[in-house]
Amino acid sequence: MIESILFWIFAVLAVAGGIAVFVVDSMARATYALAVSFVAVGGIIVMLHLDYIGVITILMMIMEMAIMAVFMVMFMGMNPALMPMDMTHSTRRSAVLATLTFLVLAVAIIVIPWPDRTGSAAADLTRSLGEAIMGSKMLVMLTISPVLFATIVASLVLANPRGRYDRYGADLDRRDPDGRAHPEDPIGGGIGR
């Protein structure tokens, strides 16, 4: 009983949050409506007894939305992010695509003859998840994560119009005729560099 009530609360929150993203006219509200939607999905995952994945989903999604708030001001030129604005574009095409996707998925759910469950859940799901990721897939993880991280850093460096590399050149060695860095940073970092 309580479980069904909780499920429906989370499910309605997830869908309503998703809809709100496109209805509201403020970047901040859209961002955090999306966060609410994801948090509700995280709640549903916890209800499936996948505690770790559920809580981590909540953690990552809130963090991601907060970071998005940094980026939206950093990269939006004259900052329409701070003004009321329409959150949609290409509405007709998006609506057609969304309806089609929904129909395909809904039909698939009903039509596919889903097999019965044969195995049983491990006693400690977090542990078995960890072993699955860190055991046989360790090499993949070790390869992918540095590449992903390097991609994030590189795209930031390339996209930031007022970054260090833009000001000091590719080798960070642009100097004035008097030998000092150009332009001179008014504030050094915390360890005096």
Cross-strand partners of 175: 181
Q: Which stretch binds another protein (CB under 8 A): 67-75, 94-102, 107-115, 134-142?
A: 67-75
Taking the least distance from each CB to another protein, the nearer of 14 and 45 is 45
Near another protein by CB under 8 A: residue from 7, 16, 20, 126: 126
Query: Least separation, in Å, of the C-beta of 128 and another protein?
Result: 13
Please give the single-letter amino acid code of residue 176: D
Q: Does 67 bind another protein (CB under 8 A)?
A: yes
Site string for another protein, 129-168 (x = CB under 8 A): ----------------------------------------
Nearest to 30 by CA among 88, 79, 77, 80: 88
Cβ-in-10-Å burial (0-12, 13-18, 19+) of 190 comes to exposed
Task: Please report how close the Cβ of residue 176 comes to another protein at its closest, in angstroms.
Answer: 23
Angle between helical axes of 27-47 and 51-75 (0-180°, round to 10)? 170
DSSP type of residue 115: P
Position among 9, 23, 66, 150 found at the interface with another protein (CB under 8 A): 66
Quick one: which of 91, 72, 94, 70 has its CA closest to 27?
A: 72
Query: Environment class of residue 35 by beta-carbon count within 10 Å: exposed (0-12), middle (13-18) or buried (19+)?
Result: buried
User: Dihedral through CA 83, CA 86, CA 88, CA 91, nearest 10?
Assistant: -160
Under the criterion CB under 8 A, does residue 69 sit at the interface with another protein?
yes
CB 12, min distance to another protein, A: 18
- The residue count for binding another protein (CB under 8 A) is 26
Question: If binding is defined by CB under 8 A, does position 73 make contact with another protein?
Answer: yes
Return residues touching another protein (CB under 8 A): 26, 28-29, 32, 35, 51-52, 55-56, 58-59, 62-63, 65-67, 69-70, 73, 124, 126, 187, 189-191, 193
